[in-house]
Amino acid sequence: MAVYTSVNQSELEDFLEQYNLGKLISYEGIIEGIENTNYKIIMEEGGFILTIFEKRVDPQDLPFFMNLQKYLSSHGFHCPIPVENKDKNIVNSLCNKKAIIISFLEGKKIDNPQSHHCLQVGKMVSNFHQITKTFENTRKNTLDIDKWKFIFSKCLEETNHDFKDLIEPMKNEFLYLHQCWPKNLPRGTIHGDLFKDNIFFQNEKLSGLIDFYFSCNDFYAYELAITTNAWCFDIKKGFNRNNFESLLDGYQKNSNISSDEKKNFNILLRGAAIRILVTRLHDQIFHPDGAMVIPKDPLEYFTILKWHQENTVFNA
């Protein structure tokens, strides 16, 4: 979450007139995150999140994201629920951008995950994949390897930055991924963004999942790769095998990992790393002036990528 679009109280109150949520009591911008503008709003009816969608989100994809959250919630999965306005519309407009209100999810992120957290995350990912096998909506992954290449090509156009040493290794990695990326692994609906910021805990128990705006249809094992990089690496200590094994144990309570998925997992891990590396590089180079958001360090995922180039998470 983040704040790119500033909204004053008058604009917000006019927008909220569309809803049956009572009067606005207070609101504040949420600086954490990188993609969309988010405010926590306190209404007479309780706490909610206002999201204003920025340029990376295609408005045509919003019904998929909203329907997915409604579907998951109807099956007992803990995630925010989209709120309809008085005209039964979920997606509306604020400051000439698409905007929604969703329910507020209790809990907070875990900064230093331990194995018991990763066990719960693995179970949650498996539950997500099992529930959505009967979800009929589909969406192509618009942040796939072709989009990574496009983002990287934009970065190559700029030379006035502090990350020049990353460019050549990233070029070589893109060549490798283009040649080796798998084509026929088990696939279905994935969340696509299972980072620590998006998974909440309360009293050491997983309380829910937020931020569904990268959800799409892709490989289940790619989802696990994204999650592994986010939850099983420490900036100082590197790969945490205990966390990884707990993540797998949790996932395999209800889902299986095939031999083909294990065979291709290193490639998926490297792709999951380059995805975050290239988007962070882009956000550092093209950081908008005045945005209430702190761009994240690309070097963290460059280090993770190098580890995967030299190691494998599955013991031979």
3-state SS assignment for residue 261: helix
Distance CA 93, CA 79 (A): 23
Q: How many Cβ atoms are within 10 Å of 119's Cβ, its own excluded?
A: 20
pTM value?
0.93
Cα distance between residue 129 and residue 227, in whole Å: 14
Looking at beta carbons, which pairs linking 89-97 to residues 24 or more positions away fall under 8 Å?
90/62, 90/66, 91/59, 91/62, 91/63, 91/66, 92/15, 92/18, 94/7, 94/11, 94/12, 94/15, 94/50, 94/52, 95/5, 95/7, 95/11, 95/52, 97/5, 97/52, 97/53, 97/54
- So what's the pLDDT on residue 291? 57
Domain 9-103 classification at class level: alpha beta
Angle between helices 265-285 and 220-231 (to 10 degrees): 60
**Alpha-carbon gap, residue 122 to 135, rounded angstroms:** 20
Report pLDDT for 162.
85
SS3 171: helix
Structural contact between residues 193 and 141, judged by C-beta atoms closer than 8 angstroms? no
Q: 21: buried, middle or exposed (CB in 10 Å: 19+, 13-18, 0-12)?
A: middle
- pLDDT for the residue 1: 41
How would you write the pLDDT of the chain (316 residues) with one tens digit per residue? 456 788 999 999 999 999 999 999 999 988 775 678 899 999 999 999 999 998 778 999 999 999 999 999 999 999 999 999 999 999 999 999 999 999 999 999 999 999 999 999 999 999 999 999 999 999 999 999 999 999 999 999 988 888 999 999 999 999 999 999 999 999 999 999 999 999 999 999 999 999 999 999 999 999 999 999 999 999 888 999 999 999 999 999 999 999 999 999 999 999 999 999 999 999 898 876 655 566 788 999 999 999 999 999 987 5
Question: Where are the chain's structural domains?
Answer: 9-103, 115-310
Beta bridge partners of 21: none
What is the full DSSP assignment across 96-152? TEEEEEEEPPP-B--SS--HHHHHHHHHHHHHHHHHGGG-----B-SSSHHHHHHHH
152 phi and psi, to 5 degrees? -65, -40
Token reading at 133? 């096998």
Among candidates 255, 210, 170, 182, which has minimal Cα distance to 78? 210
Distance separating alpha carbons of residues 112 and 102, to the nearest angstrom: 27
Q: Note the pLDDT of residue 2.
A: 54
**CATH classification of 115-310 is 3.40.50.150, yes or no?**
no
